Homo-oligomer: A and B are copies of this chain.
Amino acid sequence: MSWQTLLRRHEQQFVDELVEFCRIPSVSTTPEHAGDVTAAANWVASRMTAAGLEHVEVVPSAGHPVVYGDWLHAGDAPTVLIYGHFDVQPANPIDAWTSPPFQPEVRDGRLYARGASDDKGNMLAPVLTAEAMLAIGALPVNVKFLFEGEEEIGSPNLPPVFQTHVDRFACDIVYSADGGQRSEEQPSLTTAFRGICGLHLIVRGPHSDLHSGIYGGTVNNPALALSEILASMRNSQGKVVVEGFYDDIEPVSEEMQEIVDASPIDNDAYREGLGVPELFREPGYSTRQVSWLRPTLEVDGMWSGALGDGRRAIVPAEAHAKLSCRLVPDQSPEYVLDCLRRHIEDHTPRGVTAEVRTIPISSAAYHMPVGHPGNRVAANVLADLYGREPLIGLSGGTIAILNMFRKYLSAYTVSFAFALGDENQHGPDEFFRLSSFARAQSAYGQLFEALASTSL
């Protein structure tokens, strides 16, 4: 029997297991879910052991643990490290979900659950592939699995784990099961990711919330002051006017420009899909250029005073905003944070104070040579699976660990995963196509076979 047949036979069992996995609310962004992230790590370790992998271990870190396991009996064949993450984004606003985020539900061949697409479905697939291959014999390459629980918070505690386990994690190349394809018909290979940095801005006024009738108008209102600071950061055209923000960005190379040109965005369909009255972006760039090649400044969250239905007539004591920037090659997260800090200092109105806390997610942009043999193998597998050559793509997102694979293991990472852009990652009603789940399993089998005869 072939590993393909074996995978098909267990299709329903694997979906049931993915459902079980997605029931664990392994939200890494809030301390109250730390136990759930560990529970997900334990679930992954058990499943890896059941699959026949060896040296499976939940490796602690100063934050959330990583899970490691391997099968290293392929002699001189290459050693491949498979990466993924079992932590998920928070599920708020819960009310906006059709079915509860941690009660997975299959509708129309799609599994709806927080983390189904990002990244539990994707990361589970190669484990199942390894199980099928081991059940009928052996893996054609040496395989290491490294799954983390801090992807969604920028992997702040991973560097010491790499330092300790550099020999254990050593590999020729990394394949990342965190990412996606262009569509169900069109494969793609992602060769670059943007970086990120973020800060928490706190504007403080009076020592406590004040009665707006008695004190209103005599002290600065922190919510208004915060609004003024934020509004000062960009112009009405959408260009960031924080001094230095666009420093150090290299002109776009011809290769990059070609990659971008090969993947135009239909602005009307894009606008309609997002439900906005019109698109809004840095002047002088196309939608695709902005999302792949330009840095961004976004407010992820903001709060002050009376929230929701509650009504209070007050001057709030403080106002908060969380900002994050996506960064492009040659931008330093530290430098951009410094620019923001200086801007905030220079634009804090009278009557309030501003505190800036760095959010520990700083990560520079990542890119790898398009023609790298690791990409070529992946491209061949994808072409075979889809019957169509993959487009080269860039990602506007960030996977902090990719820079660590470079730094500690001297290994490039090939993005090899099967999420699609409409699957509501990070939003309500996240889902993963079960067809993609099955395709991912086949893809990893073909990849392992092709890698056996590749010189990396």
Contacts and interface: CB of A to CB of B under 8 A. Distances in A.
Interface of A: 29-31, 89-90, 92-93, 96, 152-153, 194, 196, 198, 205-221, 223-224, 226-228, 230-234, 236, 238, 270, 274-282, 287, 290-291, 294-296, 298-316, 319, 321-322, 324, 326, 349-353, 359, 361, 395-398, 421, 424-429
B90 A291 contact: no
B274 A210 contact: yes
Max chain B Cβ within 10 angstroms of own Cβ: one of A230, A278, A309, A326: A230
19 contacts: A30-B310, A30-B311, A212-B326, A214-B291, A214-B397, A219-B274, A220-B276, A220-B280, A221-B298, A223-B299, A224-B231, A227-B228, A278-B351, A280-B352, A301-B310, A302-B302, A302-B305, A303-B307, A313-B398
A280 B219 contact: yes
Nearest to A240: B217
A278 B224 contact: no
Contact of A312 (B207, B312, B426): B426
A95 to B, nearest CB: 11
A382 B223 CA distance: 40
Interface centre among A306, A309, A324, A352 (most CB of B within 10 A): A306
B220 A230 contact: no
A26 to B, nearest CB: 14
Given A92-B306, A210-B427, A221 B312 contact: no
A156 to B, nearest CB: 11
Contacts of A321: 223
A313 B324 CA distance: 7
Contact of A213 (B153, B279, B294, B398): B398
A397 B303 CA distance: 25
Contacts of A395: 213-214
A153 B30 CA distance: 34
Contacts of A349: 236, 280
B238 A231 contact: no
B276 A352 contact: yes
Number of copies: 2
A324 B311 CA distance: 10
A299 B305 CA distance: 8
Chain A contact residues: helix, strand, loop or mixed: loop
B298 A218 contact: no
Contacts of A153: 311
B312 A300 contact: yes
Nearest to A285: B217
A322 B312 CA distance: 9
Given A280-B351, A352-B276, A209 B426 contact: yes
A224 B234 contact: yes
A215 to B, nearest CB: 7
A276 B219 contact: yes
A231 B141 CA distance: 60
Which of A280, A359, A361 has most B Cβ within 10 Å? Answer: A280
Contact of A216 (B206, B219, B326): B326
A282 B426 contact: no
Contacts of A209: 93, 426-428
B277 A300 contact: no
A217 B281 contact: yes
A209 to B, nearest CB: 5
A152 B310 CA distance: 11
A20 to B, nearest CB: 25
Contact of A208 (B205, B299, B350, B427): B427
Contact of A218 (B96, B228, B279): B279
A275 B207 contact: yes
A219 B279 CA distance: 5
Q: Which 7 residue pairs across A and B have the least CB separation, nearest first?
A: A213-B397, A280-B351, A301-B306, A207-B275, A217-B296, A223-B299, A231-B231
